[in-house]
C-alpha cells in the first residue's frame, strides 16, 4: 500500500515514522519547504536500518509523487500558537488544504483521505467538497486523540493501566468535544463507581483543554506524538481492514440529527474507509452538547462559504 503524507512537520513526519516502522506501507512525505521532507525521509530510512526493516520512504517537494496513494494523510498547515484559537487558523489552512486536495484528487483516484490539519472538522469538509469523492473516503482525526487524553488522565488519577479503560469522546475536536462519561468504564465498571462527580468533571475539563495544556508547555508548537499515533491507528485500521470502532470525524447526513457537516462520532473503519456510523442513543444533555459542537463546526464552514 502507498501512504502519501502531506506536510512533513511534527505530526506528518511522526506519522511517516510510525508507518514506515510498521512495515505496512511505502511512504511518500511531501512538504513545500525545500530539502526538509527529503532530509526527514533519509533520517527515517536510516532508522529502519537500525531496526533491520526493509521499508521505503521518499521525501519530495513535488505533489505528483503522491500519485496513486491508497491513503493520503493531510497535516499541512499552520499549527496553533499559544493564545491562538482554532478559528484563527481557519482561513489560512482552508486555502492550503483546498489547494493540495485540488491537485491530488485527479492523480489519487482511489485515495482515502485522513485529515489532521486544524480546525480539523472544517478541513475535512473542505477536503470532501474539493475532492468530490464519496463521504466514506474522507475521515478526520480527533476523537481517538481526545479519547486517549481522557484515558491518560483517568489512568493517572486511578493508577490503572489505560488498557483497562474504555471511553468515547464525541463531537468536534475543540472545546465543544463531548466526552461520554456514561460510556466510560474501567475494566467494565462505570467510571462513576471509581471517582466522585467532581473528580470526573475535573478530568473532563482537562481533556477538553488537553491540546492547549501541551501548547502552553511547549511554547513553540503543539502536540504531535499522540496525534501521530492516533492518525497511524486509523491508517492501520484501513490498511488491515480491521473494522475497528473508533471515534472519527465524518460527514453526517442526518445521523445524530446533523446534516451537511463533519463531526466526531463512533464509526467502523476498514478498507473502504468509513464503513459504518455507529448510532448511539444519547441523553438530552448529550444531544444538546453534540448539537452545540455541530453548530461550532457549522459556523466555521459558514465563514468559509462567505
Ligand atoms: P508543523 O508546523 O510542524 O507542520 C506543518 C507543515 O506543513 C510544515 O512543515 C509546513 O511547511 C507545511 N506546509 C505549510 N503549507 C504547506 C503547503 N501549502 N503544502 C505543503 N506543506 C505545507 O505543524 P504540526 O504540529 O505538524 O501540525 C500540523 C497540523 O495538524 C496543524 O494544523 C495542527 O493544528 C494540526 N493538528 C491537529 C490535531 C488533531 O487532533 N486533528 C492534533 C495535532 C495537530
Whether ligand 1 lies within 6 angstroms of the CB of 33 is answered as yes
Question: What pLDDT does 174 receive?
Answer: 72
Of 12-21, 143-152, 211-220, 227-236, minimum mean pLDDT range? 211-220
Q: Closest ligand 1 atom to the C-alpha of 99?
A: 18
Residue 227 pLDDT > 90, yes or no?
yes
| pLDDT 10s digits, 108-159 | 999 999 999 999 999 999 999 999 999 999 999 999 999 999 999 999 999 9
Mean pLDDT of 57-77: 98
- Give residue 11 CA to ligand 1 midpoint distance, Å: 7
- Give residue 225 CA to ligand 1 midpoint distance, Å: 13
% of the chain beyond a pLDDT of 90: 89
Q: Closest ligand 1 atom to the C-alpha of 142?
A: 40
The larger pLDDT score, comparing residue 76 to residue 174, is at 76
Whether ligand 1 lies within 6 angstroms of the CB of 98 is answered as no
Whether ligand 1 lies within 6 angstroms of the CB of 172 is answered as no
Of 56-65, 82-91, 106-115, 123-132, minimum mean pLDDT range? 82-91
Question: What pLDDT does 82 receive?
Answer: 66
Mean pLDDT of 244-260: 97
Of 73-82, 96-105, 206-215, minimum mean pLDDT range? 73-82
pLDDT tier for residue 266 given thresholds of 50, 70 and 90: very high
Q: What pTM does this model have?
A: 0.97
**DSSP annotation of 195:** S
53 touches 29 (CB < 8 A): no
Whether ligand 1 lies within 6 angstroms of the CB of 10 is answered as yes
Mean pLDDT of 274-290: 94
Q: Which of 5, 10, 11 to mutate to test the pocket of ligand 1 (most atoms within 8 A of CB)?
A: 11
Question: Computed from CA positions of residues 228, 186, 264, 204, in that sequence, does the dihedral angle turn out positive or negative?
Answer: negative
pLDDT tier for residue 80 given thresholds of 50, 70 and 90: low
Mean pLDDT of 260-282: 97
Whether ligand 1 lies within 6 angstroms of the CB of 120 is answered as yes
Q: What average pLDDT is seen over the chain?
A: 95
128 touches 192 (CB < 8 A): no
Note the Cα 147 to chain centre separation in Å: 11
Question: What pLDDT does 201 receive?
Answer: 95
Mean pLDDT of 193-205: 96
Question: What pLDDT does 78 receive?
Answer: 86
Mean pLDDT of 68-82: 89
- Give residue 129 CA to ligand 1 midpoint distance, Å: 20
- Give residue 117 CA to ligand 1 midpoint distance, Å: 6
Under 8 Å CB-to-CB from 145, ≥6 apart: which residues? Answer: 173, 226, 227, 230
Of 33-42, 103-112, 174-183, minimum mean pLDDT range? 174-183
Residue 260 pLDDT > 70, yes or no?
yes
Residue 297 pLDDT > 70, yes or no?
yes
Question: What pLDDT does 86 receive?
Answer: 65
Q: How is residue 53 written as a grid cell?
A: 526493516
Report the nearest-CA residue for atom 9 of ligand 1.
9
Question: What pLDDT does 294 receive?
Answer: 94
Question: Computed from CA positions of residues 227, 186, 265, 27, in that sequence, does the dihedral angle turn out positive or negative?
Answer: positive
Strand order in the sheet with 112-115: 57-60, 26-30, 2-6, 71-74, 112-115, 138-140, 244-253, 259-270, 273-277
Give the residue numbers marked as catalytic: 173
Length of the chain: 306
Whether ligand 1 lies within 6 angstroms of the CB of 8 is answered as yes
pLDDT tier for residue 19 given thresholds of 50, 70 and 90: very high
Amino acid at each position: 500500500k502507498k501512504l502519501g503524507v502531506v506536510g512533513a512537520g511534527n505530526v506528518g513526519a511522526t506519522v511517516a515514522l510510525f508507518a514506515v516502522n510498521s512495515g505496512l506501507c511505502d511512504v511518500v512525505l511531501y512538504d513545500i519547504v525545500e530539502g526538509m521532507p527529503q532530509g526527514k525521509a533519509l533520517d527515517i530510512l536510516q532508522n529502519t536500518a537500525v531496526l533491520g526493516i526493509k521499508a521505503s520512504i521518499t521525501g519530495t517537494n513535488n505533489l505528483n509523487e503522491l500519485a496513486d496513494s491508497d491513503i493520503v494523510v493531510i497535516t499541512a498547515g499552520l499549527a496553533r500558537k499559544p493564545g491562538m484559537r482554532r478559528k484563527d487558523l481557519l482561513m489560512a489552512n482552508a486555502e492550503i488544504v483546498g489547494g493540495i486536495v485540488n491537485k491530488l484528487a485527479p492523480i489519487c483516484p482511489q485515495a482515502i483521505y485522513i485529515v489532521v490539519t486544524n480546525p480539523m472538522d472544517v478541513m475535512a469538509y473542505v477536503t470532501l467538497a474539493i475532492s468530490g469523492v464519496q463521504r466514506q473516503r474522507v475521515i478526520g482525526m480527533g476523537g481517538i486523540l481526545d479519547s486517549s487524553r481522557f484515558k491518560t488522565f483517568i489512568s493517572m488519577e486511578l493508577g490503572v493501566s489505560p488498557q483497562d479503560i474504555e471511553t468515547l469522546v464525541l463531537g468536534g475536536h475543540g472545546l465543544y468535544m463531548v466526552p461520554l462519561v456514561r460510556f466510560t468504564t474501567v475494566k467494565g465498571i462505570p467510571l462513576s463507581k471509581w471517582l466522585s462527580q467532581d473528580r470526573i468533571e475535573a478530568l473532563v475539563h482537562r481533556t477538553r483543554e488537553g491540546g492547549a495544556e501541551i501548547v502552553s508547555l511547549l511554547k513553540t508548537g503543539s502536540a504531535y506524538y499522540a496525534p501521530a499515533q492516533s492518525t497511524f491507528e486509523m491508517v492501520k485500521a484501513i490498511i488491515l481492514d480491521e473494522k475497528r470502532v473508533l471515534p472519527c470525524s465524518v460527514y453526517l447526513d442526518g445521523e445524530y440529527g446533523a446534516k451537511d457537516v463533519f463531526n466526531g462520532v463512533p464509526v467502523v473503519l476498514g478498507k473502504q474507509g468509513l464503513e459504518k456510523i455507529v448510532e448511539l442513543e444519547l441523553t438530552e444533555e448529550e444531544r444538546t452538547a453534540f448539537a452545540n459542537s455541530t453548530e461550532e463546526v457549522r459556523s466555521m464552514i459558514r465563514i468559509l462559504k462567505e
